[in-house]
Structure formats: C-alpha cells, structure tokens
Amino acid sequence: MSSLALMRWLEGTPERYDAGMRALTFGRVRRLHEAVANAAVRAPGDAVLEIGCGTGSVTALLLARGARVTAFDHAPEMLEQARARFATGATVDWVERTASEIDALPRAAFQSVVLSLCLSDMSRSERAFVLREAALRLAPGGRVVAADEVRPRGPLRRVLQRLWRIPQAALAWLLVGAVSSPIPDLIGELEAAGLAVRESDEWLFGTLALAVAEKSE
C-alpha cells in the first residue's frame, strides 16, 4: 500500500486515527487522556474549552464526566470525524477555528481550557499567545490542562529521545499525518502566560507530560 493510500485508510475512521496515536505512544495516550479529563472536569455541568479536539477522544471523556464542551479544531476533516462519533444532542459546540482565534471567545467563561497533544503542533509564539488568552478565558478558580510531547529532563533521556525521533517522525507522518516537535519547557511556558502549575505527571520516560495550571495570584 502506498503511504498516501495508507494515510487515507487511517484517516477513514476515528478508530484508525486513534489506533495510530496508541501505536505512537505505546498505549500511553489512553492514560494521558483519562488524566486530562479527570483534571478538567471537577463537577458535572462544568464548561470546558477544548483546543485541538482532533477525532474527539478527549471530548468523549469530558462528556462522560458531564462537561459542556466547546471543541475547537482547525482541520475540517478532524471535526467531521469527531462530530460523526457522537449522537445528536451531545453537549458539544464544534467550532472550526484555529487556536489563535480563542480571543473571540468571552473572558472568564470556562472552568477549564484543555490542550491535549496540540500545543506541540504550534510555533512557540502561537503557544505563548494561546496560553495567555486561555488564562483570560478561565472563570475564577479555573484551570488550564495541558498534555503533550515534551523534551525530557536529564541528558540520557534526551539522547534516547533524539535517537527515537527519526523513526518516530516517519511513523507519525504515516500513522496520523503530522509531525510534532516536543515542547522544550511546558511548565516555563505556562508560567510565562501567568499560570501557576499545581499538578504534573509524566509518562514514557518523561517524553509525555501533563500539567494542570491555575491563574497566578
């Protein structure tokens, strides 16, 4: 099968895209998604803004916890797959927009802003803008929940990540049609946006990380 045909096949259903993500993360993506949803929804009815919803894997977990979700993605084919996954009447507002258009949303309107595996698709300046604007969208006591591929701490882990990077980038292109760059300093970027990290976790030798951050006092 040519790589183009393989990509078309993988893009055909959310299950195939999701299978690609599971393969790339050795199955850890499920745990990461669960941790994101647990951190993002503290009570049924919470309003959650999800940036880069993709095929809706995290959206499904947010809905299962009773959230009302506004889900952004700039890729119409991803949104189409995500929409098809849910019954009509699900409490999701699907929006085809780029993350930087977050500034069109009302301020202080969300209990959480979720960014799962999409900050690493953005440039550093876009991330800085989006994180600053995300902080402004939080209702009092709200939190930004960011999970992504990061540069691990420690020289040995960094060498291992560089060695794994070339086959991983090729696989990522084949399996999910995109290549991301690990974020050098996720916590530093959240702090620079005026957020204070309250919880964090990591998987896969520190190459996948989760950070839960609130507005600094």
CB 28 within 8 A of CB 208: yes
Smallest gap from residue 186 Cβ to ligand SAM (A): 15
What is the nearest approach in angstroms of ligand SAM to the Cβ of residue 155?
A: 28
Strand partners, 208: 149, 203
With respect to ligand SAM, which residue has the nearer C-beta, 49 or 117?
117
State the nearest-atom distance from the C-beta of 194 to ligand SAM, in Å: 20
> Rounded to an integer, what distance in angstroms lies between the CA atom of residue 36 and that of residue 102?
20
- Residue found under tokens 């620079």: 192
To ligand SAM, the closest distance from the beta carbon of 154 in angstroms equals 25
Residue of this chain nearest to ligand SAM (CB atom): 54
> DSSP letters of 174-192?
HHHS-----BS-HHHHHHH
- In whole angstroms, the minimum distance from the beta carbon of 156 to ligand SAM comes to 27
Q: What is the 3-state secondary structure (H, E, C) of 101-168?
A: HHHHCCCCCEEEEEEECCHHHCCHHHHHHHHHHHHHHEEEEEEEEEEEEECCCCHHHHHHHHHHHHHH
Pick the closer one to ligand SAM by CB: 75 or 171. Answer: 75
Which residue, 121 or 191, is less far from ligand SAM as judged by CB? 121
Q: Which two tokens stand for residue 126?
A: 């876009």
Binding site residues, ligand SAM, CB under 6 A: 21, 52-54, 57-58, 72-75, 78, 98-99, 116-118, 121-122
CA distance 47 to 43: 10
Nearer to ligand SAM, 154 or 184 (CB): 184
- What are the two backbone dihedrals, phi and then psi, of residue 51, each rounded to the nearest 5 degrees? -100, 130
Q: Please tell me the distance from the alpha carbon of residue 21 to that of residue 119, in angstroms, as a whole number.
A: 16
Name the residue nearer to ligand SAM (CB basis): 61 or 155. 61
- Give me the least distance between CB of 92 and ligand SAM, in Å please: 13
